[in-house]
Structure 1
Amino acid sequence: MTDTETTQVDRFVDVPNFRIHYVEAGTGHPVVLLHGSGPGATGLTNFAPNIGALAKKFRVIAVDMPGWGESDTQTEETGRDHPKVLIDFLDKLGIEKAALVGNSMGGVTSISTAILHPERVSHLITMGAPAPLQGIFSPGGGITEGLKVLLHAYREPTPENMKRLVQVMCFDQTVATDELAAARSAAALARPDHLESWNSQFNGPPKPSPYWHLAGREATITAPSLMIHGRDDRVVHYENSLHLVARIPNSRMVLLNRCGHWAQIEHAAEFNRLVSAFIEQ
């Protein structure tokens, strides 16, 4: 593999209702990286330590989903159906089947797609993903510490609140740098339409997530599945991955000690080895 083949290239593609930004590198079997939520999140920032390493063996595509990064935002008119957007995106790129690697919200998209469109998913890999079961964000139900910080940062995306956000995401506080917090804050403030789109979800009566309606269908997932979770995740408790691995037939779980919500960042080398070996097998 030459350096040219692993060069990261920024691209845009139009799908119904949205212009989508993504970063691509490498050749081989398609591996689509799906970022989590949070103000200032992008495919590139959520997977910065992983894209180049995985691109040595695969065609790696890190997507900004609608409402994040350089992609178009979401409105009530366009809807918020990320699994549909993902299928439209794969169709546009001519990808019949891909390995999906999803962190948190990206894990929700990956799991949903593996249930609703099993023929398009070769492998399912999640990190810190909630299971499709209401009240399972924490063992006692309700909103976790990390989600409270995330929601507050969406309302007030200041560098101080972003610092609290990156701190709660990580076990290793050396990862939660002032530079990272400032970069996330700047990225969030650069797209007020994304912030407004997110916050508008909570106007009026609560809207049930379509994801919860998939509860009980985890056993229909046919793709080989790998759940990676941090034991110290304060955003989505690792019991979510225990729930998933107990129900998805061809699945396994890796629980990482001294690891928060960003396993792909805090334990990047191990994460890259795990994902590469799992897809190659």
Structure 2
Amino acid sequence: MDADVEADNVEVDTVEVEAPAAAEDAQPTQPSKKSLKKAAKRERFQAQKLERRAREKVAKKEKQRIRAEKRAAGELDEEDLPKKKKPRVGPPFGGRVVVDLGFDEKMTEKEVHSLCSQLAYTYSANRNAGHQFSLLFTGLDGKTLARMDSMSDAGYKRWANSEFWTEGYERLWSEDPTVKPTIVYLTADSDEELTELKPEETYIIGGICDHNRLKRRPTVSALPVLPIGTYLSDLKTRKVLTVNQTFEILVHWVDTRDWESAFHTVIPKRKFEENSKEKAAVPEGTAVVSVEEVEEQTEA
């Protein structure tokens, strides 16, 4: 039988599917004016939110850029310091820390700018300390005074628990003739180490930024050095610290009574990295002398 004949004999059942009848009364609902206003308001808010975040991001980056430039130039003001959550402040330690600013004529303008930034950091560290010192800045004059007056509209005059003298620290002995103060002038060049801080004593920090060019202030009565050599015997790099670093170490010692912890908390990590590099770079048996020793040998 032909295939065409078979195809003719095949019965195909078909099913007709009727389309659903459209609802006679169904009509598209129109949104109310109130809902349209709410939707438009949401869209505007989202658009403004994105724009606001974009502006904030740009402003934050610009602020960071300016702060980085000021930090590189040593021109950070108190207002430029990062805002930290103020910790709970306990009773004052009782001791006094004096920053001797009597080196003004020996510093360049750039060094004075760096020093003034260090003073701002010092005040900030004292303000946030668990047990605050009484701060006294002596010998404020010349370029340093002009720079401090130009920073934040002479904001240093509003520093709490701080005092400024144009006279030198020698005035300490004439404050009260009936009382003989115990004054300790800290230095980076001494064999005597400071072992503890006492609330009845006054500690003087040399306020100078000279990148190790100059000799420190001569002996007052005793010139102990912070005990870095005892607690960080492996740290062979230059141990001359900035004003604020020295002060922060004192603050941490008062809070913890632990010199080693204070040093590790304050001294920059790069100091330890530099020390490791120096050890690797210097061949065994090579004599290593400091800049101070070279200067002394040259003068001799």
TM-score by length of 2: 0.24
User: Whose relative contact order is higher, 1 or 2, with alpha carbons under 8 Å and at least 6 apart?
Assistant: 1
Whichever structure has more strand as a proportion of its residues is 1
Whichever structure has more helix as a proportion of its residues is 2
Rg larger for: 2
TM-score by length of 1: 0.25
